[in-house]
C-alpha cells in the first residue's frame, strides 16, 4: 500500500492515481511509453514538439490502444503565426487543433506561454500545465490561467535553467497559489517524497523514463543513463544554441573550447552549425544510432540514482513505493 498522503489534490484534478508524471520528451516520449505510464496510474505525456501532424495522430492512437486512462500532450509554444490573429507558429497551431479534436485531457507547455488558448482548453474540459525554470516566469504563467506549474531545476535533463531545484521549488511555492509540481533530478521516489514534504503536488520525470523498454531510443542511450554517475552530464549550448543538459562526451568537451564557443549560433541555428562541424546530425547519431562518444543525448543528473532499464509501469510503482518508504522513515503509517 502506498502512503495515502501521496494522493494529492492534483491527482484528483487530473484523474490519475499517482502524482508521477512522465515528461513529454521530444522523440523519446512516444505512444508506447505514454500508454504504459498512464495505464500504471501515472500521467504519460507525448513529446509532441518534434512530431508532425500525422505522427501526433498516430501516437495518440497508440496511447488509446494501450489505455483508456488520462494522458497529456507536450508542445513548445513558440510565438509567431502566418496571420496576426494566430499567436503561435503554424506547426504549433496545427498540433493544438489536433489536441482539441482528439479531446486530450491535459495539455503541457514546455516552453512559452499557452495563455492565448487557456480559456478554450478549460471550456473543452482540459487542464493546462506549464514548465518554468524560475519564479518570475511561474508568476506570469499563473496570471495566464494555467492549472498548475512545473518548476524545473538546473539538474534536469534537456533544456534547463539556471536555478537549482532545492531553491526553486520552495520559491515558486511561496509565490503561487495554484498547484506546483517539481522536475529536474528526480530519479527515484525520494525525490517525490521531498517534493511532497516541501508542498509540491507531484513530480515530472524525464531521464528516469528514458531508461525504460518503451521509450524510443538506442539501447546505448538507455544504458548510459544506468552507467553514469552524478558528474556524467554537462549543461551545454553546443547542440541547440540554448543551455541543454546532455550526456558529456567528446563533442561536448570539444565545444568547451572558447574559440568554438564563440561560434555558437542562437537557437535553433546551432543545430545546423554543430551538424556541419561533426559531419552528421548529432541527435540522430546519439539517440537513434547509439554513438555515445559523439552524439547528442539529453539526460539529467538524476542518472546518478537510476540503476536499471525497466518497464515504464514498474518505474511508476517503484517511485511510489520508494516515496512511501521515505515518508515512513519520518512518520510511520502505523
Least distance (Å) between residue 262 CB and ligand FMN: 27
Of 242 and 260, nearer to ligand FMN (C-beta) is: 242
Regarding 107 and contact with ligand FMN (CB under 6 A), the answer is no
| Integer Cα distance of 131 and 108 in angstroms | 8
Least distance (Å) between residue 322 CB and ligand FMN: 15
Please identify which residue in 35, 41, 47, 133 interacts with ligand FMN, judged by CB under 6 A.
47
Strand residues in 99-226 grouped as ranges (E)? 106-111, 127-132, 148-152, 158-159, 180-183, 203-205
Least distance (Å) between residue 114 CB and ligand FMN: 12
Of 35 and 184, nearer to ligand FMN (C-beta) is: 184
Regarding 105 and contact with ligand FMN (CB under 6 A), the answer is no
Of 93 and 330, nearer to ligand FMN (C-beta) is: 93
Q: Is the Cα dihedral 173, 175, 177, 178 positive or negative?
A: negative
Regarding 129 and contact with ligand FMN (CB under 6 A), the answer is no
Using CB under 6 A, which residues numbered 53 to 92 contact ligand FMN? 74, 76
Regarding 224 and contact with ligand FMN (CB under 6 A), the answer is no
Please identify which residue in 249, 302, 310, 324 interacts with ligand FMN, judged by CB under 6 A.
302
Regarding 49 and contact with ligand FMN (CB under 6 A), the answer is yes
**Residue 20 CB partners (closer than 8 Å, separation 6+):** 37, 41, 42, 43, 192, 202, 203, 205, 316, 319, 320
Instruction: Yes or no: say if 63 and 71 are a contact pair by the CB < 8 Å rule.
Output: yes
| Integer Cα distance of 245 and 253 in angstroms | 13
Using CB under 6 A, which residues numbered 240 to 299 contact ligand FMN? 298-299
Regarding 306 and contact with ligand FMN (CB under 6 A), the answer is no
Q: How many chain residues bind ligand FMN (CB under 6 A)?
A: 28
Regarding 42 and contact with ligand FMN (CB under 6 A), the answer is no
Cα dist from 83 to 90, 109, 215, 254, whole Å: 9, 21, 36, 42
Regarding 195 and contact with ligand FMN (CB under 6 A), the answer is no
Cα dist from 182 to 85, 107, 110, 256, 267, whole Å: 34, 17, 13, 30, 25
Helix spans in 228-311 (H) = 250-254, 258-261, 269-278, 282-283
Angle, helix 165-175 to helix 135-143, in steps of 10 degrees? 40
Regarding 188 and contact with ligand FMN (CB under 6 A), the answer is no
Regarding 23 and contact with ligand FMN (CB under 6 A), the answer is yes
DSSP three-state, residue 143: helix
Regarding 204 and contact with ligand FMN (CB under 6 A), the answer is yes
Please identify which residue in 20, 28, 99, 141 interacts with ligand FMN, judged by CB under 6 A.
28
Phi, psi for residue 245 in degrees, rounded to 5: -85, 125
Regarding 186 and contact with ligand FMN (CB under 6 A), the answer is yes
| Integer Cα distance of 41 and 69 in angstroms | 8
| Integer Cα distance of 314 and 328 in angstroms | 21
Residues that bind ligand FMN (CB under 6 A): 23-26, 28, 47, 49, 74, 76, 110, 131, 152, 156-158, 183-186, 204-208, 298-300, 302
Amino acid at each position: 500500500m502506498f502512503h495515502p498522503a501521496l494522493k494529492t489534490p492534483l491527482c484528483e484534478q487530473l484523474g490519475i492515481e499517482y502524482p508521477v508524471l512522465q515528461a513529454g520528451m521530444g522523440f523519446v516520449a512516444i505512444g508506447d511509453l505514454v500508454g504504459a505510464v498512464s495505464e500504471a496510474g501515472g500521467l504519460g505525456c507525448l513529446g509532441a514538439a518534434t512530431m508532425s501532424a500525422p505522427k501526433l495522430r498516430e501516437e495518440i492512437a497508440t496511447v488509446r490502444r494501450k489505455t483508456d486512462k488520462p494522458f497529456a500532450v507536450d508542445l513548445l509554444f513558440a510565438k509567431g503565426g502566418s496571420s496576426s490573429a494566430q499567436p503561435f507558429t503554424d506547426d504549433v497551431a496545427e498540433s493544438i487543433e489536433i489536441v482539441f479534436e482528439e479531446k486530450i485531457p491535459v495539455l503541457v507547455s514546455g516552453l512559452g506561454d499557452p495563455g492565448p488558448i487557456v480559456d478554450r482548453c478549460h471550456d473543452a474540459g482540459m487542464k493546462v500545465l506549464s514548465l518554468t525554470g524560475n519564479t518570475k516566469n511561474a508568476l506570469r504563467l499563473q496570471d495566464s490561467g494555467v492549472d498548475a506549474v512545473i518548476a524545473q531545476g538546473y539538474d534536469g535533463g534537456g533544456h534547463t535553467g539556471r536555478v537549482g531545484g532545492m531553491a526553486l521549488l520552495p520559491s515558486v511555492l511561496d509565490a503561487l497559489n495554484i498547484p506546483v509540481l517539481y522536475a529536474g533530478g528526480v530519479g527515484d521516489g525520494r525525490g517525490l517524497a521531498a517534493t511532497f514534504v516541501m508542498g509540491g503536488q507531484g513530480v515530472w520525470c524525464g531521464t528516469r523514463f528514458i531508461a525504460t523498454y518503451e521509450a524510443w531510443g538506442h539501447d546505448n542511450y538507455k544504458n548510459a543513463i544506468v552507467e553514469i554517475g552524478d558528474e556524467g552530464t554537462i549543461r551545454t549550448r553546443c547542440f541547440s544554441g540554448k543551455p541543454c543538459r546532455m550526456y558529456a562526451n567528446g563533442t561536448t568537451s570539444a565545444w568547451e573550447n572558447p574559440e568554438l564557443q564563440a561560434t555558437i549560433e542562437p537557437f535553433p541555428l546551432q543545430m545546423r552549425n554543430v551538424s556541419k562541424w561533426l559531419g552528421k546530425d548529432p541527435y540522430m547519431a546519439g539517440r537513434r544510432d547509439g554513438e555515445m562518444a559523439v552524439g547528442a543525448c539529453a539526460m539529467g543528473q538524476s542518472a546518478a540514482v537510476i540503476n536499471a532499464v525497466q518497464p515504464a509501469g514498474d518505474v511508476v510503482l517503484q517511485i511510489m513505493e520508494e516515496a512511501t518508504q521515505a515518508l515512513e522513515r519520518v512518520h510511520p503509517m502505523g
